[in-house]
Amino acid sequence: MPVVTFLPAGVSVEADPGTSLLDAARQANVPIRNDCGGQGICTRCQVEVKRGEVAGRGSGGGLAEGRFLACRTLVAESDLEVYLPEETREVETEVTLRRTDPFPADYPPPGAMVETVELDLPAPNLDDNVSDSERLVRRLRKWRDAEYHIPLGVLKDLPVRLRDAQWRADVTVSVEPWGSRILRVGRPARKKPYMVAVDIGTTAIKAQLLAPEAGWVASCYNSQVMFGPDVISRIIHCQRDEEHGCPALKQLVVQDIERLIAALLDAQGVEREDVWALVVSGNTTMIHLFLGLYPVWIRREPYVGCAYLLAPVRPEDVGVNINPAGRVFCLPAVSSYVGADITAGVLATGLGDRKRPSALIDLGTNGEIAIGCEEFLVCCSASAGPAFEGGGSASGTRARPGAVESVWSEGTLRWRTVGDEPPVGICGTGYIDLLATLVRERIMDKTGRFVAGAPGVVQRDDEFLYVLAPAEQAAGGRDIILTQADVENLVRAKGAIYAAGSVLLESLGMDWGDLETIMLAGGFGDRLNKDNAVTIGLLPDVPRERIAFVGNTSLQGAVMVAQDAANYWKARDIAGKMTYFELSTHPDFMDRFVSACFLPHTDTEKFPSVSAAQE
Partner 1 sequence: MAVTGLDIYKLLPQTNCADCGVPTCLAFAMKVAAKQAALDDCPHVSEESKEALGTASQPPQKLVTIGSGDSALKIGNETVMFRHEEKFHHPCGIAVLVNDTDDLDAKAAAIKNLFLERMGQNIGVDVVAVRCGSGDGQKLKDAAMKMQAALNLPMVLIAESADKLQAAAEGLAEARPLLWERNGPSDALVELGARTGLPIVVEGDLDKCDGDVQKARQAGIEEMVLCPGEVTPRGALQFLTMSRRAALKRTYRPLGYPVLAYAWSQDPVQLSLEACHYVLKYGSIVVLDEDRPEYVLPVLVARQSVYVDPQVPVQVEAKVHEINEPHDKSPLLVTTNFSLTYYCVLGEVEASRVPTRILTVDTEGTSVLTAWAADKFGPEQIKEAIEKSGVFDQLAEGYQKPVIPGLVAVISGELSEELGRKVIVGPREAGGIRRFFNSEWPTLVGS
Partner 2 sequence: MPVPDVSERLSGAINEVTIGATEEQGGSRTRTVTIGGETSFPMLSFEGRYPHPPAFALQITAADVDDWHAEAKKHVADVAGDLEKWAGKCEEWGADLICLDLAAAHPDSGGRSPEQCADDVKRVLGASGLPLVVWGTDTDEVDNNILPKCTQAAAGENCLFGTAKELNYRTLAASCLADSHKIIAEAPSDINLSKQLHILLKDVGVNLQDIIMHPTTGALGFGMVYIYTTIERGRIAGLSGDTLMQQPVVVNIGKEIGRVKEAVSPEEESPQWGKVQVRAPLWEAATAVGYVEAGAELLVLRNPEALQQAKTALEALWPKPPESA
Q: State the residues that interact with partner 2 by CB under 8 A.
A: 442, 445-447, 449, 591, 594-595, 598, 602-605
Question: Residue 584 interacts with partner 1 (CB under 8 A)?
Answer: yes
H/E stretch holding 207 reads strand 204-210
Given a contact cutoff of 8 angstroms between Cβ atoms, the answer to whether 70 and 39 are in contact is no
Q: Which span sits near partner 1 by CB under 8 A: 96-104, 204-212, 537-545, 576-584?
A: 576-584
447 interacts with, out of partner 1, partner 2, none, CB within 5 to 8 A per kind: partner 2
Nearer to partner 1, 118 or 582 (CB): 582
Q: What are phi and psi of 467, to 5 degrees?
A: -100, 115
Question: Residue 483 interacts with partner 1 (CB under 8 A)?
Answer: no
Q: Which of 40, 332, 352, 557 binds partner 1 (CB under 8 A)?
A: 40
CB of 27 to partner 1, least distance (A): 20
* Three-state SS annotation for 133-176: HHHHHHHHHHHCCCCEECCHHHHHCHHHHHHHCCCEEEEEEEEE
Site mask for partner 1 (CB under 8 A), range 240-279, x = bound: x---------------------------------------
* Identity at 451, one-letter amino acid code: V
Nearer to partner 1, 109 or 576 (CB): 576
Given a contact cutoff of 8 angstroms between Cβ atoms, the answer to whether 338 and 580 are in contact is yes
Q: Which of 19, 202, 383, 393 binds partner 1 (CB under 8 A)?
A: 383
Question: Residue 236 interacts with partner 1 (CB under 8 A)?
Answer: yes
CB of 595 to partner 2, least distance (A): 4
598 interacts with, out of partner 2, partner 1, none, CB within 5 to 8 A per kind: partner 2
Nearer to partner 1, 371 or 435 (CB): 371
Q: Cβ of 566: how many Cβ atoms within 10 Å? A: 12
Beta-bridge partners for 75: 54
Question: Residue 482 interacts with partner 1 (CB under 8 A)?
Answer: no
Nearer to partner 1, 56 or 423 (CB): 56
Q: What is the 8-class DSSP label of residue 313?
A: B
Beta-bridge partners for 330: 280
CB of 243 to partner 1, least distance (A): 17
Q: Which span sits near partner 1 by CB under 8 A: 37-45, 260-268, 406-414, 529-537?
A: 37-45
445 interacts with, out of partner 1, partner 2, none, CB within 5 to 8 A per kind: partner 2
Contacts to partner 1 from residues 60-119, by CB under 8 A? 72
Question: Residue 507 interacts with partner 1 (CB under 8 A)?
Answer: yes
Question: Residue 376 interacts with partner 1 (CB under 8 A)?
Answer: yes
Sequence-distant (≥ 6) Cβ neighbours of residue 257 within 8 angstroms: 198, 200, 205, 207, 278, 290, 320
Q: Nearest to residue 49, comparing CAs of 16, 29, 25? A: 25
* Three-state SS annotation for 260-310: HHHHHHHHHCCCHHHEEEEEEEECHHHHHHHHCCCCHHHCCCCCCCCCCCC
Question: Residue 39 interacts with partner 1 (CB under 8 A)?
Answer: yes
Nearer to partner 2, 404 or 597 (CB): 597
Q: Nearest to residue 412, comparing CAs of 466, 358, 465, 368? A: 466
Question: Residue 55 interacts with partner 1 (CB under 8 A)?
Answer: no
470 interacts with, out of partner 1, partner 2, none, CB within 5 to 8 A per kind: none
CB of 493 to partner 2, least distance (A): 17
Q: Which span sits near partner 1 by CB under 8 A: 38-46, 171-179, 218-226, 532-540?
A: 38-46
Give CA 264 to chain center in angstroms: 17
| Residue 3 to residue 607: CA distance in whole angstroms | 61
CB of 602 to partner 2, least distance (A): 5
| Residue 295 to residue 442: CA distance in whole angstroms | 45
* Three-state SS annotation for 529-589: CHHHHHHCCCCCCCCHHHEEEEECHHHHHHHHHHHCHHHHHHHHHHHHHCEEECCCCCCCH
H/E stretch holding 17 reads none
Q: In what order do the strands lie in the sheet with 80-83?
A: 11-14, 3-7, 80-83, 46-51, 67-69
CB of 488 to partner 2, least distance (A): 13
Nearer to partner 1, 41 or 189 (CB): 41
Nearer to partner 2, 78 or 447 (CB): 447
CB of 478 to partner 2, least distance (A): 29
Distance between start and end Cα atoms, the chain = 69
153 interacts with, out of partner 2, partner 1, none, CB within 5 to 8 A per kind: none
Peptide bond into 2 cis (omega under 30): no
H/E stretch holding 42 reads none
Q: Nearest to residue 214, comparing CAs of 261, 259, 264, 258? A: 264
Beta-bridge partners for 6: 11, 82
CB of 294 to partner 1, least distance (A): 14
Site mask for partner 1 (CB under 8 A), range 212-231, x = bound: ----------------x---
Q: Which of 2, 31, 38, 390 binds partner 1 (CB under 8 A)?
A: 38
- For 69, the 3-state DSSP assignment is strand
Q: Which of 11, 55, 130, 485 binds partner 1 (CB under 8 A)?
A: 485
CB of 510 to partner 1, least distance (A): 8
CB of 380 to partner 1, least distance (A): 12
C-alpha pair distances (Å), 428 with each of 161, 379, 473: 54, 23, 20
CB of 450 to partner 2, least distance (A): 12
Q: What are phi and psi of 264, to 5 degrees?
A: -65, -45
- Site residues, partner 1 (CB under 8 A): 36-41, 72, 228, 232-233, 236, 239-240, 299-301, 303, 376, 378, 383, 462, 485, 488, 507-509, 576-581, 584, 587
